[in-house]
Structure 1
Amino acid sequence: MDSAGLERTAFEINLRHAVAREQLEVHFQPLVDGRDGSLRGGEALLRWRHPDLGLIPFRRFLGAAREGGLLGELGDWVLRAACTHAAHWPADGMHAPLLTINVAIEQVMQGNLAERVQEALRDSGLAPERLELDFEEVVLKEEHSRIQSTLEKLDGMGVRLAIDDFGRGVSSIPRLKRYPLRALKLDPALVRDVGVREDAQAVVEAVACMANVLGLEVFARGVEGKAQQAFLCALDCHLQQGPLFGRPMSAEAFAAYVADPAKFTSAS
């Protein structure tokens, strides 16, 4: 095995022990109403504080986690940790902040996701209606009764269900209505090209129109500028997330932000 292979193997071995060694952290990125900037929730984002490499975002070790069969274990950890944090967020006016968590197809296929979610909600005290699970778009393409059953159980519990990064792949659009979904989250690549490429704007507008017909909310991730914000609001895509509104922050910093967004913004 060459040096690159040895490094990759060592990386994967260390990842397997990250939970036991308490090296994982959950950070949160604000989800806001693009019309007035008011906080509506936070997306849970997994981070690995590697002893040598520092803080590593999930996208950089997703491949290793997937290849090593670790997505179920890591997903369970994020679910429990994020629900525990969110249960202590203060309500922002009329809206108790929504917690959104990404879910991999592997977590669905292991067969006990609904039970894991129920346990996390019970142990944390978080109300089911304050939790949204964002599924990979691949769930729309897979034919498996386990997917249908799992989504129906979660919906029956009162948990919100959404499709993440919509528009990245070729979706099975009829299943958008077949499954108990409440929202679509636009692929950040589409949002990034709003105001730059006409085809991207056309796709975003088409998705927004389709979602409206199906009774689905549309969330936009990756919003970087005021022009994107205005274009999306004009399409009734009010729930937005991205650098324009705030980057991911530690659980402690996000809790302070939830308590007083204006003070946090002025302090930063």
Structure 2
Amino acid sequence: MATNQTTQRSSTISPKPLAGKKAVVTGGTVGMGRAMVQALTDRGAEVIYTGRSDRRLAEARAALDTPLAHAVRSDATDAAAIAALGDLVADRLGGIDYLFVNQGIAEFQTLEEVTVESWDRIFNVNAKGAFFTVQRLAPLLSEGGSIVFTTVSNDRIFPGLSAYSGAKEAVAAFTKVLAAELLPRKIRVNAIAPGFILTPTMGVAELTEEQRAEFIEQGNASTPMGRGGTVEEIAAAAMYLAVEATFTTGVELPVDGGFGQGLGE
């Protein structure tokens, strides 16, 4: 009898450790962001995720296929859209436990090629949009919640990424400053810094298939572990910082196969 009772009690334990938790993932329709949404919903969390492209939003809805994930069209460069996102999150979720700030764009442009327009476009998405998204959503974070930014493994720099690298360095700085500012609310703020990750776009706008293949080859050759990372590996690191690393804040965690550490040189 005791064995049966134990079995019954065990069967009622939820296999979803994040059931009842709420999260927002910006830039959640593709690649690393979608993998974060998948990891959260697989564990039972309810998630609002954003994107700018109607096509990618539709693709994400079909791929995720769960009532726990809610797609929202939102533009991180638009102050009114950020405000509206905050209102929607408050109305639908009430509050949130985790915020993943993942949106980003990159463009290869040398010193001579960078324009004021391209510089502003990259900084508006990666840095300005990230900061003001947190400003709007931070009041909705529960005490003891967490924020995870996506930066980039910037210890080794490639030509042509001045604006992108600079914008992501700004986000790395936000991580430390906001970690200090939000300490009184016991909100932890950390960042993941991906290296070469196998995503549909490889993080760069408008790559041709030939350019993507070349980029992957270069990435594999430059990564000490000899391969690009997967989006699932990035999501696992982000989930660790958000959920498990309860005594960690103000940290930028490289997830780059040793790329930024110069291993094997």
Give the TM-score, by structure 2 length.
0.34
TM-score of the two chains, using structure 1 as the length reference: 0.34
Identify, as 1 or 2, the structure richer in strand. Answer: 1
